[in-house]
Amino acid sequence: MYGYAGQILRVNLTTGSVQQEPLQEEVARKFIGGRGLAAKILWDELPAGIDPLGPDNKLVAAAGPFADSTIPGGTRHGFFAKSPITGGWGEAHGAGDFGPMLKRCGYDAVIVEGQANTPVYLWVSDEGVEIRDAGPLWGMNSGETLEAIRQATDAKAEVAAIGQAGEHRSLLGCIMSDYDRAAGRSGLGAVMGAKNLKAIALLGKRPRQAADPAALRQDVKALAQALVTWPTSIAFRKHGTPAGIGGHNAAGMYPVRNFQEGYSDDELIDLVKGETMTATILVRGKGCTGCPVRCHRVVQVKAGESPYGAVAPKWGGPEFETIGLWGTNLGIYDLNYIAQASARCNQYGLDVIGTGTTIGIAFEAFQRGIITAEDTGGLKLEWGNADVVLELQRQIAFREGFGAILSDGPLAILERWPETAPFNLHVKGHPFAVHMPRGKVGQGLSYATSNRGACHLQGMHDTTVNAGVIAPDVGIDEKFEGLNRMAKEHKPELVYRAQNWRAVEDSFIICKFIGWDYGAATATDCARMLSNLTGWNVTAHDLTEAGERTFNLCRMFNVREGMSRADDTLPARVSESLPRGATRDSVITQADLDRMLDEYYAFRGWDEKGIPTPERLEALGLS
């Protein structure tokens, strides 16, 4: 097949067996790749009720047709499994060159089964597949692992590895590629650790071929030129994702002290926003191969410049989420500390978002006297205490002290201290990202209904349509244009349509900064690129239908695990009015959420319990 490697690699760590299986064209057409392909595999192969950290769980590493295609933003990859933090659908996406290299090795996906008796890593190359001893690597951080594996294999190998957090099965553990590229959510680092799988290393040289190379080159050239002058791309190229901090703070929706507030005074926010980072610790911007956006940051803090220690450029730099959840949300306005926290997350292999939010919940519980110094081993969880945060970060990664509780995320706090429920910021056990539902009501509904829990990447940002940016070719048409970010009308349909398109993007896999709602590529553009890549005749409608099919299959994965409407919830915090700022008085009450869920389920063709009806599944080819 054009655009695909055409093979799936299956590795059983229990038996040591290695198999190659063909990717059927019918499956590729229906599910595209990435999230869609992984959903098909895990639905077919995982029985309900398995232990996510047991040998019966399977970890799928997958690319999509856009990987190794030269399409800007098409270099991403994903990891997929039953999530240990939610007990349902789990996925995490990363950037860099791991996805393209997987395709060059001749595979669209790798399925890892079973559990090794001792630590191992996979070495996949044009010469074959080996399960190698990783005993000497166990205990290393992610960067040390990368260096050791490249020394043992090839300097050009692409490596996805866990750090100490994954080894200790922290449910906040992530999977790192390079030094600074994280597949960060759903606790999939813990799944790798439970399998005694330290890393997957790849080196391949098999070229991909497009059905119509000349037409695809024209598509790529036009998209790259459009991205160079696209307003969001310009801002990200200059200041990275932290370019959005000032605007979010001005809108009263950049979190402070566990989302108790959404606004920091100007003199404080100025200390940590993107423009300040550019003027102080930034070394350079960095982009994925072939992408003109170059949103990633590379920073440096030299020895002696900060009480928190030096930060080397190889560890990247803080993003929008990092500065919010490790900075303002903990009452800390110090870029040197935030850069250190970011680097250590990459070294330990900790999810920046989930870990920062979990620590914020614990800090508020300490503020309210629910958690005491006796519980924390003497640590005083006081807002602004960066030294305590860094110590907690270490404890979480190594499952030590009070950090051993936090290592299992928000539900572990809730189980031990039920009084934290109103401000325990999770959905389905999955911690909140920075984006505040009170300021983005549609985002709140997205959090409630996302298949992996509170996720800002599987829905939409109300600020986009509020600014007049729509996407008619996926059904986000003129009636949404200018719709207020805090309005509740039309949001159920908007979320329904946006989630379908996000499922397409995560199946290509393409970066969110390339298409709606950040970039220049429309759904029609993407359909044309896929058609020129594969030789298929694909329309935007075909893509959105595939996205809806994938979203429903992931929903059915959760239904099979016992989830329903009762799990499509939001914490009570979102029903509390903020004390100040432009989002003050905007709330989502339980009655608001119930009304939106009823309308949303109707658009989805689900019953009143949030379960897809047989008729809807039949219509989507999921009978």
| Residue numbers of the chain with a pLDDT score lower than 50 | none
Question: Quick one: tokens of 267?
Answer: 């003199």
Asked whether the beta carbons of 32 and 546 are under 8 A apart, the reply is yes
- How confident is the model at residue 277, as a pLDDT? 98
Q: Give the list of residues 6+ apart from residue 155 with CB closer than 8 angstroms, or none.
A: none
CATH number, domain with residue 556:
1.10.599.10
Q: Give the list of residues 6+ apart from residue 387 with CB closer than 8 angstroms, or none.
A: none
Q: Looking at the 3D structure of the chain, how many domains does it have?
A: 3
Judge if 191 and 270 occupy the same domain: no
DSSP classification of residue 475: T
Judge if 565 and 460 occupy the same domain: yes
Judge if 546 and 476 occupy the same domain: yes
- How confident is the model at residue 623, as a pLDDT? 87
Judge if 148 and 251 occupy the same domain: no
Q: Give the list of residues 6+ apart from residue 532 with CB closer than 8 angstroms, or none.
A: 210, 211, 212, 215, 216, 219
Judge if 32 and 89 occupy the same domain: yes
Judge if 471 and 603 occupy the same domain: yes
Judge if 402 and 522 occupy the same domain: no
DSSP classification of residue 19: E
The answer as to whether 62 is a domain residue is yes
The answer as to whether 582 is a domain residue is no
The answer as to whether 216 is a domain residue is no
Question: Quick one: tokens of 57?
Answer: 């769980």
Judge if 445 and 427 occupy the same domain: no
The answer as to whether 219 is a domain residue is no
Of 157, 186, 203, the one marking the end of a domain is 203
The answer as to whether 412 is a domain residue is yes
Judge if 396 and 491 occupy the same domain: no
Judge if 501 and 553 occupy the same domain: yes
Of 374, 404, 431, the one marking the end of a domain is 431
CA angle at 392 for the pair 390 and 397, rounded to the nearest 5°: 100
By DSSP bridging, strand 158-161 and strand 175-177 are: antiparallel
The answer as to whether 51 is a domain residue is yes
Question: Quick one: tokens of 8?
Answer: 């799936």
Asked whether the beta carbons of 425 and 258 are under 8 A apart, the reply is yes
Question: Quick one: tokens of 305?
Answer: 């410049």
- How confident is the model at residue 577, as a pLDDT? 97
Of the CA atoms within 13 Å of residue 32, those in its CB half-sphere come to 32
Asked whether the beta carbons of 420 and 361 are under 8 A apart, the reply is yes
Asked whether the beta carbons of 124 and 107 are under 8 A apart, the reply is yes
Helix axis angle, 441-449 relative to 590-604, nearest 10°?
70
- How confident is the model at residue 563, as a pLDDT? 98
The DSSP code sequence of 207-270 is PP--SSHHHHHHHHHHHHHHHHH-HHHHHHHHH-GGGGHHHHHHTT-S-BTTTTBS---HHHHT
Of the CA atoms within 13 Å of residue 570, those in its CB half-sphere come to 29
- How confident is the model at residue 520, as a pLDDT? 95
Judge if 329 and 403 occupy the same domain: yes
What are the two backbone dihedrals, phi and then psi, of residue 554, each rounded to the nearest 5 degrees? -65, -35
The answer as to whether 192 is a domain residue is yes
Q: Among residues 32, 1, 78, which one has the least CA distance to residue 508?
A: 32
Domain that holds residue 251: 240-431
The answer as to whether 453 is a domain residue is yes
CA distance 609 to 117: 42
Asked whether the beta carbons of 204 and 105 are under 8 A apart, the reply is yes
- How confident is the model at residue 517, as a pLDDT? 86
CA distance 574 to 588: 6
Judge if 286 and 184 occupy the same domain: no
Of 431, 451, 473, the one marking the end of a domain is 431
